[in-house]
Homo-oligomer: A and B are copies of this chain.
């Protein structure tokens, strides 16, 4: 019986997998303000060119630089574990395997892209990276990466999280980053908001605007911006999760999992665990691939596939994705990492292509699942991860009903040690579920009517 399946350093994947090479129809391009596809050089003030090249690449395999691997050996290869204690508790014939991304120093999968992003910036001669963070997972991962690689790191953290989660800021400080509450007085975007709303709790949209502004306005040209999810190069970097998992499953004789599950906010940990198996599915394998999102922010399950901006201030290009509208403000719930209005274009298009079967869960069921996990497997998961676990439990019980020995694989995207106040709110009975009504969604997506539409030139469908 194999509870932990451990890959040695020498067997770590040496290339990332790019799903853009295998999608049945070509990925819809990002569009500029004029509705025309943007060119790489238009992104140059924001990202270094070596990352832009990855963003637009359709090459199937992209080499992972040896120096990037050397940094990531601190925690990679990550263990694949079998959730035998949960299996026993459920009495299921299913075998549940999970890729444990909580073992990174920052506690989640985010360093898988923070490290290469920081490294490529450094290679390109950049000295300083700006970013935004909501709950703090991404900000601490980038702080960690910049510390190891020798770059300055500036994080704009949404004011309400900055005040409520001081520990995340302390983490970033330990790794040498400068973390300020957003909106701040350091940018035009921040000052303008503060003038009008001095008591604003802030938002990811404002924080993105501040981070981008500080990157593009640096006259030395040595500052760039970094994003922790949504974009193609982020999905690319995260595929190391699924590529390792595939090798580890093979070590215990499993050619392919029957079901692959990940929680999905912007889409990065989900893409990471699933894309290598999406490739197999495109080539004929029978694999069910399930992104799990919160019922209170139902991007893939309820929102249309459209062209929309990535941020509130419409500073980003238009991306073809499932979106609840860039002005959508999700109701408060504790999985901060799943509160994004859109979904990664690669995940969105794969969904439209019929390669994914997304579903959503309410937060109370997710916390209930997290509690089952804590009392069986023993660890305290991130609130985001609990969404994946809720689906895993349902699928394992379904396998029990059907009497089938399915192999289920999921991504344990992070631990919940920095999110214990959410557990406290749940245990104190302070949490409720929130279901978005169809009217609310319709109202939000009305803004799309005058925007360009994604179009499938190959089949004319969608």
A interface vs B, CB < 8 Å?
1-4, 6, 9, 73-75, 85, 103, 105, 107, 144, 147-148, 166-167, 170-171, 173-176, 371, 374-375, 377-380, 417-418, 420-421, 423-424, 427
Contact = CB atoms under 8 A, between A and B. Distances in A.
A423 B143 CA distance: 15
A420 B144 contact: no
A163 to B, nearest CB: 15
15 contacts: A3-B73, A4-B9, A147-B374, A148-B375, A167-B421, A170-B423, A170-B424, A171-B417, A173-B423, A173-B427, A174-B374, A174-B380, A174-B420, A174-B423, A417-B418
Contacts of A427: 170, 173-174
A144 B378 contact: yes
A378 B106 CA distance: 9
A105 B173 CA distance: 25
A424 B179 CA distance: 13
Contacts of A144: 378
Pairs A-B, 9 closest by C-beta atoms:
A170-B420, A105-B378, A105-B379, A170-B424, A167-B420, A74-B378, A6-B6, A417-B417, A174-B423
Contacts of A75: 378
A340 to B, nearest CB: 25
A174 B377 contact: no
A377 B147 CA distance: 11
A380 B423 CA distance: 23
Given A148-B375, A170-B420, A417-B418, 20 more contacts: A3-B9, A3-B73, A4-B9, A6-B6, A74-B85, A74-B377, A74-B379, A75-B378, A105-B379, A105-B380, A144-B378, A166-B421, A167-B167, A170-B424, A171-B417, A173-B423, A174-B374, A174-B420, A174-B427, A175-B374
Contact of A175 (B148, B175, B375): B375
Nearest to A426: B174
A73 B88 CA distance: 15
Contacts of A375: 147-148, 175-176
B105 A103 contact: no
Nearest to A376: B148
Given A148-B378, A371-B174, A424 B9 contact: no
A148 B171 CA distance: 30
Nearest to A144: B378
Contact of A424 (B73, B148, B173, B420): B173
Contacts of A379: 74, 105
A396 B277 CA distance: 45
A1 B69 CA distance: 14
Nearest to A416: B174
A75 B81 CA distance: 10
Contacts of A173: 423-424, 427
Contacts of A418: 417
A173 B171 CA distance: 24
Contacts of A6: 6
Nearest to A106: B378
A380 B421 contact: no
B73 A170 contact: no
A378 B176 CA distance: 12
Nearest to A1: B9
